[in-house]
Structure 1
Amino acid sequence: MNRILFPRGPLHSEPIHFCHLLNHSHCEVVQKMSSVSANNILVHVFNPLSTPVKHYIKLPVDRGLYEVFASDRSSVDHQLLHLADSVRSLPHRSVDTPYELLFRATLPALGYTTYLIRKINGPDFAPPRRLTGPAENSGEVVIENNKMALVFNPSTGLLQEIILSDGRRVPFKQNFHLYRGSSGSYTEKASGAYAFNPTSDGSSPATNKVTYHVSKGDLVEEVHQVFNEYISQTIRLHQHSDSIEFDWVIGPIPKGNWYSDLGREIVTRYETDFHTNGTWWTDSNGREAIRRTRDHRPTWNLITTENVAANYYPISTWTFIRDYDRNLQLTVLPDRAEGGASLTDGALELMVHRRLFYDDGFGMEEALDEPGSDAKGLIVKGRHHVILNDIRPSVQKIRTMSKQLALPPLTMFRALTDPGIYHLNRPERFDFSGLHRKLPINIHLLSLERWDDNKLLIRLEHFFEVNEDLKFSRPRRVSLRDIFDPLRITSAQEVTLNVVQDRRAAEKRRLRFVSRFDPYFNYTNLLSQIDPNDQSNHSDGQEPLIVILYPMDIKSYLVTFEAKRICFGSSYSARGQNRARSYPC
């Protein structure tokens, strides 16, 4: 990493640090910024995607004044936020920092950029403002950006409505609900690690009234909610963002008497007034969307007494509901795999935490009662991104945002004892992009792996479905020759997905099967007028280094390359001598 970022100069030997608990607002490197030797810190942010990304960076900091500079030495807007009390009290946080520093990073495709954070010592620090209760001269609590506004009930503190940018008002509720787990009997299984079997079809809300406060700034507006002693949440609306963040901390779930407490299974439920006709969609491992129908199976008649569990499906990347009459779609993108369902029209619920005290009999021979890091019970912190928009822009947003959530930017840190280095013309490279030109928005660079001498393995993915979007579901042409900035591709061989044989040879030998069912049985015909074979805006693809990808295609290539230009750096030999070394730059 140092060889590429800083091939020479005073920063070449400075160590790079990673913070693996940034999602818990814990980073010891940043928290030591107040020391005399590390008042300045360099933040390197790497974007693994093949398209440019704008991403909000949050770092835990102590009280004080801060400055943020981009790689071009320009000042960057930033905001200081109060850290939620539930996050500050997490048992594994060794340093209690009361604030978070937020700024928006602009990241190049398949590359990195660098930001300088400088702490200013002075007595003029003013803590960020907190508002409690309804705003002055108004009966509403509202947070907003240039895309939407969220309206909260001032009496209960719960979300009640979303106002879209065109003025449409959509009733919207969110609350946490609790299912009581079954203890099992001779006729039914217990709810446990492998089985979801609540005692009744209904769930009870965690509360009907929360305590809350509002925080507003130039970059983000937040509502901090406390539902009870073990459930809290921050609803966050960033500027220029068309998604809502629901950031929750749950646990430890209380444990009562063994003979009366059956355990609790907690879901978050999003409710609208959509007319969905018992239908919703879930993802298939982040690629295709599968239509689900309540109390229905496509190939047999469903007869069940488990009305809740029978309608739960795995959600690894997204789930959504649609109201075709109003051209609206509600989408939820979780940050991890969760179970979810739409048990009533217009509602989506996802399971976020469970604590159960009976074994379900499926081989574990123990209850789902995790002790957590302090032996008091497991605490779970998670995040949902919620999108409410028209159907077509929602489809596009799902595809691009799911890639950004699955492959988030990698943040690295290093102390900077001499801030003047950052502001002088020196050999350090503070930003870099590995792509000569960005790929189309519907094409993803899935793999880039060194194979052997002068060969790379490249996999390209067209991640839109057939008939999903009028523009992005078309085949796309990609030129491999100059796709990378430091390298020029000289030849390409298409191979099978597992890279064991040439694809054309494999196609000739493969077995042929005729399916009884339409493979697109589950998909909507809303965009069926699109011709998936239309190549009117593409070349014939006869040039071997120009490839055409169709919707849902993944194509693998072994390519040979040569360096466009050579940079020279120094590497340290085993004998302690500096030796000149060349590498593509």
Structure 2
Amino acid sequence: MHILQNFRFIQVETAFFWQWWQDQTEETKEITRQLVNSGRLEIVNAAWSMNDEAAAHYHSIIDQFTWGLKRINDTLGKCGRPKIGWQIDPFGHSKEMASIFSQIGYEGVFFARLDYRDNEKRHINKDLELIWQGSSDLGNLSNIFTGVLYDFYTAPAYFCWDVLCGDRPVIDNEKSSDYNVDTVVMKQTTSFAKYGHKLNFENNLTPLKEVMGIMQHHDAITGTEKQHVVQDYVRLLTAAVNVAEEDIDSIILNILKKTDDADDVKIKFSSCLMANVSHCKESNLDRFTVVVYNPLSRYVNHYVRLPVNGDSYTIVGPDGNINYEILPTIADFSYVDSITPSKKELVFVAENLPPLGLKYFYIQKSKSTRKKYKTVKQTQFGNNNCGFTIDEVTGLLSSATLNGVTLEISQNFMFYNGANGTNKEETFRASGAYIFRPATTTPKALSLANSVTYTAYITDIVEEVHQVFNNWIRQIIRVYKNENYIEFDWLVGPIALINDLGVEVVTQFVTKRLSNGVFYTDSNGKQMVKRIRNFREMYTYTDEEPISGNYYPITSNIVLKDGGSDDCSPGKNLEIAILNDRAQGGSSLEDGQMELMVHRRLLNDDAFGVGEPLNEIEFNKGVVVRGQHYLTFGQKNSCSKNSVKTAATNRRDIAQRKLLSPWVFVGDATSNKHTLENLQAKLNFEFSGLVNVLPNNVQILTLEPWTENKLLLRLEHIFSKDEDNVLSQPATVNIRNLFTLFNVVNIEEMSLAAHMPKAEIEKMPWNSVIPETLSRKFRSADLNIHIMPMEIRTFIVEVVAKTRNLV
């Protein structure tokens, strides 16, 4: 034991630490604190997990760091606060992650994995250490010292100081004759419940916080885990969601009740977790209620789609009767056992959902007959402002119209055969969970269908075309009234083998626009990064992998821009974007083209560690995947007038509404107590959490319980400085009387992860050519919060409940 007294150790992932900590005696806990206080046990990273950087969204990254660091603070105190990000195992690294580390208050970040060509060049040039500016918008607020591990996970030669190594020690005392250094070196509603109605449901959120942290792990969200681990993730996540929803009905009731005797109308609410396979038990009842909660800080419209078995309904909302439609589902989902999928969907729009608020709807089957949707043979859908056309012969998309501008664009599902591989040598590895490697037989993606069968439906709310590509690919192209995007709702699987090889399916959008080899992808759903095909800025690109070598992580959207023209006439200088609802790999392999990987089935393990092929099973057959893409386009900022939305404005708007989509809860209203008249007498059918709507460029990113009378509040500016002439300007929010159920009486600015006051962040000064920008102090007496483009500001706010008078 005395030998270990001279050693220091690090602890990285808080989920493992917390699991261990809970089983220890008080004596062991005190020893651990002593080790931390003496510097012999150092906490690094300290997020709940070492998250993936490519596929994780910045919302989720910040949340899981907040939760991990809160546990460290609560158990180990100030000496446990980490100063280093330790990301040695994720499969690549993002500038947004570097920015997050810096804003948390860390001194540096270290990682191991990077492109082998970049690694070789950095070794030769001796620049494995650098100052990384994570965000050009934030300047030095995002700067962080970054170090690449010298020899992957192994200590560099002569630097192994393990007890089993014989390397000579480093002597840094210049007076010593042996001196040798020179040669060696989710959460808002629970807040309303707690401070609006003296209810405390924080413990309901804890399992979901922990599981969502685990889901961001670089072997979870990426899919580089075994099948049985995937199934365990589903089990954990389902259980956590169920716990989080246990008291949602009490929260909703207390927010909406307008009489003291409203408790007797209590309805059990839940979200329909299997709605994607057209199943929701509550929405098949004769009477049910729907609550639609809006987590955004502004009014939004949301199109509610629920599986139903009826043909005629009456829907009553806060403003009276609501128009609706009944449409067929994308598939019958008959393969899903243990449930009875519905063959129809009820569609209605929840209009003007209030900020951080909700609307309540009462839905009842009706005996009256109503005019059903009509099927048509037309090829044009929508209107002159927002619509699309399909080719009369092929049934495939041929053009789209947004904001009065028509763009020729096609869309199809394509495939690559996955390389089989013969051994573990790098040049012969198979395509698998870790790597995307097309077989030489498909150097370019091939079409899965040159024509499709389709059925078109026209309603007052939405117009949609149901396409069938083959017996395992279906898609619905939709245009909602008064929207600024075209939706692609796709269903892929179980994948059939082609050419006796594994199959990797992509959706491909093709235009005639010249993009000059340039495209843009998001960094963790926040910043946009310029990509140049077959090029790397930091090293010489070689094309051993001509397809996957040009693939990048797409967490939120991929963008093409018209190249080489300053013409701002209508239809010119467009930015074209595909937004996705989950992280996917994607690229622009030819000018005017964008593709996103949607599903994979492979027959061989790639020998990188999973130990099984990517050939997953669900419901006793190959996995079926369902998702959505959204097409939007508009002119660049340089072409837009102040009164016209830029392409970037549309992208940010859609991404906010889809990634922070309203949460739909459904409840059984068949009890005699749950008549419409009784509910209207005792409940308000609408609630807003904010007194005032925030500016269009500011969003409340976080609002959650923190301690007894305090909340965690984060405000973010959602635009970059060059995206919009108006919305890219700095913004100011006054939070003094912002919330409807409580007042803010005191405020303290914190690090991004809220684990320490911002005033206590101290960083070493680094020699750097990156220009410095001044950070701004915040005075707690001033409740006007100023926020710069792309900035996130984090506060602990002390609140007191407002008096609420019931009828």
Q: TM-score, normalised by structure 1?
A: 0.85
- Tell me by how many angstroms 1:55 deviates: 0.5
- 1:313-352 superposed matches below 5 A: 313-324=552-563, 325=565, 326-352=572-598
Structure 1 residues 362-394: Cα deviation after superposition (integer angstroms, max 9, x where no partner): 0111111101222x2111111101112223422
Tell me: CA distance 1:431–1:311, structure 2 relative to 1, closer, same or farther (3 Å): same
Match of 1:405 among 636, 642, 658: 658
Give the fraction of aligned pairs with identical amino acids, expressed as a percent.
34
The equivalent residue for 2:300 is 53
Moved more, 459-468 or 473-482: 459-468
How far apart are the structure 1 equivalents of 2:677 and 2:297? 27
Question: Partner amino acid for 1:427?
Answer: K
- Tell me by how many angstroms 1:312 deviates: 0.2
Match of 1:96 among 325, 328, 341: 341
Match of 1:265 among 490, 498, 504: 504
The equivalent residue for 2:367 is 121
The equivalent residue for 1:577 is none
Tell me: CA distance 1:516–1:267, structure 2 relative to 1, closer, same or farther (3 Å): farther
Match of 1:289 among 512, 515, 528: 528
How far apart are the structure 1 equivalents of 2:800 and 2:478? 47
The equivalent residue for 2:406 is 169
Question: Partner amino acid for 2:579?
Answer: L
- The 8 Å contact of residues 280 and 321 in structure 1, kept in 2 or not, is answered as yes
- 1:82-481 superposed matches below 5 A: 82-84=328-330, 86-92=331-337, 94-106=339-351, 107-122=353-368, 124=369, 127-131=372-376, 134-135=377-378, 141-145=379-383, 147-166=385-404, 168-185=405-422, 186=425, 187-200=427-440, 201-255=443-497, 261-324=500-563, 325=565, 326-374=572-620, 376-392=621-637, 393-416=646-669, 417-418=671-672, 420-422=675-677, 426-481=681-736
Tell me: CA distance 1:255–1:177, structure 2 relative to 1, closer, same or farther (3 Å): closer
Greater share of residues in strand: 1
SS of residue matched to 2:430: coil
- Tell me by how many angstroms 1:478 deviates: 0.8
- The 8 Å contact of residues 87 and 249 in structure 1, kept in 2 or not, is answered as no
Tell me: CA distance 1:62–1:294, structure 2 relative to 1, closer, same or farther (3 Å): same
Structure 1 residues 94-142: Cα deviation after superposition (integer angstroms, max 9, x where no partner): 22322111111021100111111121124x35543223xx43xxxxx11
Gaps of 5+ in 1: 34-38, 136-140, 520-531, 570-585
How far apart are the structure 2 equivalents of 1:372 and 1:40? 32
Gaps of 5+ in 2: 1-250, 566-571, 638-645
SS of residue matched to 1:426: helix
- The 8 Å contact of residues 3 and 12 in structure 1, kept in 2 or not, is answered as no
Moved more, 509-518 or 187-196: 509-518
Greater share of residues in helix: 2
- Tell me by how many angstroms 1:550 deviates: 0.6
How far apart are the structure 2 equivalents of 1:498 and 1:157? 50
Q: Verify: 1:560 aligned to 2:805, yes or no.
A: no
How far apart are the structure 1 equivalents of 2:755 and 2:779? 24
Q: Verify: 1:498 aligned to 2:753, yes or no.
A: yes
- Tell me by how many angstroms 1:243 deviates: 0.5
Structure 1 residues 30-76: Cα deviation after superposition (integer angstroms, max 9, x where no partner): 11x2xxxxx3221111111111110000111113211211113x111
SS of residue matched to 1:484: coil
Root-mean-square deviation over aligned CA pairs? 2.4
How far apart are the structure 2 equivalents of 1:340 and 1:100? 31
Structure 1 residues 348-373: Cα deviation after superposition (integer angstroms, max 9, x where no partner): 00000000001111011111110122
Match of 2:315 among 56, 64, 68: 68
Question: Partner amino acid for 1:99?
Answer: K
Tell me: CA distance 1:294–1:91, structure 2 relative to 1, closer, same or farther (3 Å): same
- Tell me by how many angstroms 1:232 deviates: 1.0
Q: TM-score, normalised by structure 2?
A: 0.63
SS of residue matched to 1:299: coil
- Tell me by how many angstroms 1:327 deviates: 1.7
Question: Partner amino acid for 2:411?
Answer: Q
Question: Partner amino acid for 1:387?
Answer: T
Tell me: CA distance 1:142–1:425, structure 2 relative to 1, closer, same or farther (3 Å): closer
- The 8 Å contact of residues 501 and 603 in structure 2, kept in 1 or not, is answered as yes
How far apart are the structure 2 equivalents of 1:48 and 1:496? 23
- Tell me by how many angstroms 1:560 deviates: 1.6
SS of residue matched to 2:408: strand
- The 8 Å contact of residues 277 and 341 in structure 2, kept in 1 or not, is answered as no
Structure 1 residues 150-169: Cα deviation after superposition (integer angstroms, max 9, x where no partner): 12111111111224443x43
- The 8 Å contact of residues 648 and 724 in structure 2, kept in 1 or not, is answered as yes
Match of 1:548 among 786, 792, 795: 786
How far apart are the structure 2 equivalents of 1:77 and 1:346? 40
How far apart are the structure 1 equivalents of 2:755 and 2:396? 56
Q: How many residues align?
A: 529
SS of residue matched to 1:191: coil
Question: Partner amino acid for 2:471?
Answer: E
How far apart are the structure 1 equivalents of 2:460 and 2:333? 24
Tell me: CA distance 1:101–1:286, structure 2 relative to 1, closer, same or farther (3 Å): same
How far apart are the structure 2 equivalents of 1:542 and 1:355? 55
Structure 1 residues 323-342: Cα deviation after superposition (integer angstroms, max 9, x where no partner): 15322111111111100000
- Tell me by how many angstroms 1:213 deviates: 1.1
SS of residue matched to 1:556: strand
How far apart are the structure 2 equivalents of 1:214 and 1:474? 43
Tell me: CA distance 1:358–1:560, structure 2 relative to 1, closer, same or farther (3 Å): same
How far apart are the structure 1 equivalents of 2:338 and 2:412? 27
